[in-house]
Chain A
Amino acid sequence: MELELGLAPPNDAGSCGKRRSAEAFGVKKPTLPLFLRDDDDDGDHGNGEDDTGDARDCEISMGNKRKRLVGWPPVKSAHRPRSNSHVKVKMEGVPIGRKVDLSRHASYHQLHHTLRLMFPSTSHHGDPYAVTYEDVDGDWVLVGDVPWEDFVRSAKRLKILLV
């Protein structure tokens, strides 16, 4: 089967790797996006229930599947553009805060896992909690609404609230 990736000829420098902007995908000609960046803002990916369709079917019939692209391209975090990705984390009711390095995580899943390990208070085990972050504008926002990479860049600190 042939792929139509819609890459323009080499002298069209702007055509490669437009991953961020959703409009760019929409505006392009008939080819559909190969993938979208890792955004866990919807229920499909959030509970790992997406794999009944997506993960099983890795046929190159791209475009109508949304796939997360964790770990691509294969560069170590040390080689990624450096940002101060350590953020303080505080949990409601817990006096001691922690610090977490966002750049060492590749998805919201991994971050949640780390947070659970950092704050394993037994009385709250299983209780719903909400992770919020302070963004560049100083607003406190629920974690998970924006693509992971954007979140890493804009999160200043985290606060875990009990729901």
Chain B
Amino acid sequence: PAASLSTPSSPDALPAAAASPRAPPARASRRVASPGPATARAAPMGRGGARDGAAAAPPWHSLPDEVLEHAFSFLPAAADRGAAAAVCHGWLGAERRSRRRLAVANCYAAAPRDAVDRFPSVRAAEVKGKPHFADFGLVPPAWGAEAAPWVAAAADGWPLLEELSFKRMVVTDECLEMIASSFRNFQVLRLVSCEGFSTAGLAAITEGCRNLRELDLQENYIEDCSSHWLSYFPESFTSLETLNFSCLEGEVNFAVLERLVSRCRNLKTLKLNNAIPLDKVASLLRKAPQLVELGTGKFSAEYHSDLFAKLEAAFAGCKSLRRLSGAWDAVPDYLPAFYCVCEGLTSLNLSYATVRGPELIKFISRCKNLQQLWVMDLIEDHGLAVVAGSCSKLQELRVFPSDPFGAGQVLLTERGLVDVSASCPMLESVLYFCGQMTNEALITIAKNRPNFTCFRLCILEPRTPDYVTRESLDAGFSAIVESCKGLRRLSVSGLLTDLVFKSIGANGNCLEMLSIAFAGNSDLGLHYILSGCKTLKKLEIRDCPFGNKPLLANAAKLETMRSLWMSSCSLTLGACRQLAEKMPRLTVEIMNDPGRTCPVESLPDDSPVETLYVYRTIAGPRSDTPDYVQIV
């Protein structure tokens, strides 16, 4: 069967693009309401029986479902499964019934019940809610993205669900209780940038999920109800592989944690919170030397040589440690305790660490196998120069601002990025906050690293020009998109005119996500983007002089995208109304400051729109908008 699948004998056979994981998502993924009875064999598959003379292989369209489903199980990428489902009704049915993993990138793009009905065998689901800019405070509280309808629908239709992941959603304690009581074999809970729950909800999970393997809490806002959620893991419970509670503010019972860690011999990932002091970290490590990933929590302790010795010995026992993170208000004197694990580290996240200076740099320089480095700009240019020389396998670099609002000096310039991009041949993903930039630097970076897939540059002061020539940074960013043909994600900053968007529109042929702030000078800028960038999925724009015309002229484009965010631009209500009328499968949301509750129907067309959020959906307008959001 595998062989015959790869020899298409008719135009209706699998498109070649299906083999590539980068294939654009198939249209079939939106045919949620499709009936497609299992036995429909309507589509002409062509005569598959090209084997003249030999025992005839079954024609394509009468392959039994089990064979199809087995074949599809070799297509892990959702895009490929979507492409297979688009072939014919038979394949559609077989694919959707056997789909095990479902990723819903926008919780409002489809109704939960429809998703559950369409894919009845899902074992792992991921749902994302609020727009990305919510991370930076641009979305007021109570906007929506409640997880409850998804949990309810899953509880109803996916009793065998094993994994659930929510990102930027409101997850309540009731949701967690429902999860704990609805899925017999629940194993993985991942909550990223969520809010709305407390430690009481966590207690429901730890008590009720007997087969839990992963409890991964990343950057959530968790209300501390002082309930001893960790204690609710039964003494007989040993299946934990991942425990991440780094975002929890409150105390945990250390004795309980220690016993848990001792008996869970498969524990690979342990990320502690700030409440765990350094000496306790050492004793945990002695209980779990098999750890692959460790988040140390708070590190600030005065230097004591016996504690240093304890730590050093504990780390020496961790031969499998590959990933390290933590909120290191570290006393640099402790860093050498980690030296023995440096060589094995592939990932180092010091983005919460205010440690700086030569000890930091010495530490990182020993991590010769580092693939992923997240660090504060306290590392400065000369620190990055050392990284460039030491970490030849680096693939991803993120440098965060230590003093984002301050009037401090420029710690980090373009030099650091130039050095790293020159010396790290595998570098493909960058997030870089700095104080200044030049076109020359960007052009050099582009020439050195055509293999970038993600390039996000944030010059801290909006509209900053090339500090040498005083020109815009159009030339520099153009060089990036021209050189990096595989670029999927781009964030631009600094002084930029419409011309850079012309270049991005023309050259960004793989671009999926674009973030723009304080850039451009006219409608043309937006028009270039929307009329180019063939694979664009998410576009987020703030504080740019883009108006109504390019939006309306490219309305159809928006249906090929997941979402568009525009805030503090030059949009008016009339255009949004037109857009909504023209494109019924888009939801057009406008948002005003909370407190201004003027109903939108009464406002004239030329009223300015502060924030526009548009997304495609097959579910129609949502019914849970707060008073400051209006759907046009």
Contact of B400 among A75, A104, A107 (CB under 8 A): A75
A113 neighbours in B (Cβ, 8 Å): 140-142, 594-595, 628
User: A-B contact count, CB below 8 Å?
Assistant: 158
Interface segment, one of A15-23, A88-96, A154-162: A15-23
Q: A60-B463, A76-B193, A86-B249 are in contact. List 13 more A-B contacts (CB 8 A).
A: A5-B464, A16-B409, A24-B407, A47-B596, A51-B608, A59-B521, A71-B136, A73-B401, A73-B404, A74-B136, A104-B221, A112-B595, A149-B405
Q: Is A7 an interface residue (CB 8 A)?
A: yes
Contact of B247 among A19, A73, A78 (CB under 8 A): A78
A112 neighbours in B (Cβ, 8 Å): 594-595
CB nearest to A100 among chain B residues: B141
Asked if A110 meets B460 with Cβ closer than 8 Å, knowing A3-B495, A70-B137, A72-B517, the reply is: no
Distance between Cα atoms of A86 and B224 in the complex (Å): 11
Q: Is B303 an interface residue (CB 8 A)?
A: no
A16 neighbours in B (Cβ, 8 Å): 407, 409-410, 435-436, 460-461
Distance between Cα atoms of A49 and B172 in the complex (Å): 35
Contact of B463 among A5, A56, A77, A104 (CB under 8 A): A5
A56 neighbours in B (Cβ, 8 Å): 570, 572, 608
CB nearest to B544 among chain A residues: A58
- Which chain A residues numbered 56 to 111 have a C-beta less than 8 Å away from chain B? 56-60, 62, 67, 69-82, 86, 99, 101, 104-107, 109-110
Q: Is A146 an interface residue (CB 8 A)?
A: no
23 interchain pairs, CB-CB under 8 A:
A5-B463, A9-B467, A14-B407, A18-B407, A19-B407, A20-B405, A20-B406, A21-B407, A34-B463, A47-B596, A55-B608, A57-B570, A72-B517, A73-B404, A73-B433, A78-B247, A79-B404, A81-B404, A82-B327, A86-B249, A109-B140, A113-B141, A113-B142
Asked if A73 meets B458 with Cβ closer than 8 Å, knowing A5-B464, A59-B545, the reply is: yes
Q: Is B392 an interface residue (CB 8 A)?
A: no
Distance between Cα atoms of A104 and B134 in the complex (Å): 10
Of the four ranges (under 10, 10 to 19, 20 to 34, 35 or more), the interface on chain A belongs to 35 or more
Q: Is B568 an interface residue (CB 8 A)?
A: yes
- Which chain B residues numbered 573 to 629 have a C-beta less than 8 Å away from chain A? 592-596, 608, 610, 628
Interface centre among B435, B436, B462 (most CB of A within 10 A): B462
Nearest chain A CB to B138 CB, angstrom units: 5
B519-555: CB near A (< 8 Å → 1, else 0) gives 0010000000000000000000011110000000000
B219 neighbours in A (Cβ, 8 Å): 76, 78
Distance between Cα atoms of A81 and B402 in the complex (Å): 7
B407 neighbours in A (Cβ, 8 Å): 14, 16-21, 24
Q: Is B11 an interface residue (CB 8 A)?
A: no
B543 with A58: CB separation less than 8 A: yes
A10 neighbours in B (Cβ, 8 Å): 410, 413, 436, 467
B465 with A60: CB separation less than 8 A: no
Contact of B465 among A1, A3, A72, A75 (CB under 8 A): A3
Contact of B594 among A79, A80, A110 (CB under 8 A): A110
Distance between Cα atoms of A37 and B460 in the complex (Å): 14
Asked if A105 meets B137 with Cβ closer than 8 Å, knowing A3-B463, A75-B400, the reply is: yes
Asked if A58 meets B136 with Cβ closer than 8 Å, knowing A34-B462, A73-B458, A113-B594, the reply is: no
B608 neighbours in A (Cβ, 8 Å): 51-52, 55-56
Q: Is A163 an interface residue (CB 8 A)?
A: no
B125-146: CB near A (< 8 Å → 1, else 0) gives 0000000010111101110000
Nearest chain A CB to B610 CB, angstrom units: 5
Distance between Cα atoms of A51 and B79 in the complex (Å): 42
Distance between Cα atoms of A81 and B403 in the complex (Å): 7
Q: Is A13 an interface residue (CB 8 A)?
A: yes
B435-479: CB near A (< 8 Å → 1, else 0) gives 110000000000000000000001011111101000000000000
A1 neighbours in B (Cβ, 8 Å): 521
B433 with A13: CB separation less than 8 A: no
Distance between Cα atoms of A107 and B136 in the complex (Å): 12
A109 with B593: CB separation less than 8 A: yes
Asked if A7 meets B410 with Cβ closer than 8 Å, knowing A71-B136, A80-B404, A110-B594, the reply is: no
Nearest chain A CB to B170 CB, angstrom units: 12
B405 neighbours in A (Cβ, 8 Å): 19-20, 37, 149
Interface residues of B (CB under 8 A from A): 133, 135-138, 140-142, 193, 195, 219, 221, 223, 247, 249, 327, 351-352, 400-410, 413, 433, 435-436, 458, 460-465, 467, 495, 515, 517, 521, 542-545, 568-570, 572, 592-596, 608, 610, 628
B570 neighbours in A (Cβ, 8 Å): 56-58
B137 neighbours in A (Cβ, 8 Å): 70-71, 77, 104-107, 110
Nearest chain A CB to B415 CB, angstrom units: 10
Nearest chain A CB to B523 CB, angstrom units: 12
CB nearest to A20 among chain B residues: B407
B595 with A109: CB separation less than 8 A: yes
Nearest chain A CB to B169 CB, angstrom units: 15
B464 with A7: CB separation less than 8 A: yes
Distance between Cα atoms of A99 and B250 in the complex (Å): 14
Contact of B138 among A18, A34, A51, A70 (CB under 8 A): A70
B462 with A72: CB separation less than 8 A: yes
Distance between Cα atoms of A110 and B136 in the complex (Å): 13
A51 neighbours in B (Cβ, 8 Å): 608, 610
A20-55: CB near B (< 8 Å → 1, else 0) gives 110010000000001101000000000110011001
B545 with A58: CB separation less than 8 A: yes
A17 with B135: CB separation less than 8 A: no
Distance between Cα atoms of A1 and B628 in the complex (Å): 36
Contact of A75 among B223, B404, B543 (CB under 8 A): B404
Distance between Cα atoms of A113 and B402 in the complex (Å): 30
CB nearest to B247 among chain A residues: A78
Nearest chain B CB to A10 CB, angstrom units: 6
A80 neighbours in B (Cβ, 8 Å): 404
Distance between Cα atoms of A77 and B495 in the complex (Å): 26
Distance between Cα atoms of A105 and B608 in the complex (Å): 24
B223 neighbours in A (Cβ, 8 Å): 99
Across the A-B interface, give the 3 residue pairs with the lowest CB-CB distance, nearest first: A106-B137, A71-B136, A113-B594
Nearest chain A CB to B388 CB, angstrom units: 21
CB nearest to A40 among chain B residues: B593
B517 with A55: CB separation less than 8 A: no
A34 neighbours in B (Cβ, 8 Å): 461-463
A109 neighbours in B (Cβ, 8 Å): 140, 593-595
Distance between Cα atoms of A113 and B597 in the complex (Å): 11
Distance between Cα atoms of A103 and B545 in the complex (Å): 29
A75 with B401: CB separation less than 8 A: yes
A62 neighbours in B (Cβ, 8 Å): 463
B463 neighbours in A (Cβ, 8 Å): 3, 5, 34, 60, 62
Asked if A79 meets B409 with Cβ closer than 8 Å, knowing A51-B608, A56-B608, A60-B545, the reply is: no
Distance between Cα atoms of A37 and B247 in the complex (Å): 28
B610 neighbours in A (Cβ, 8 Å): 51, 55
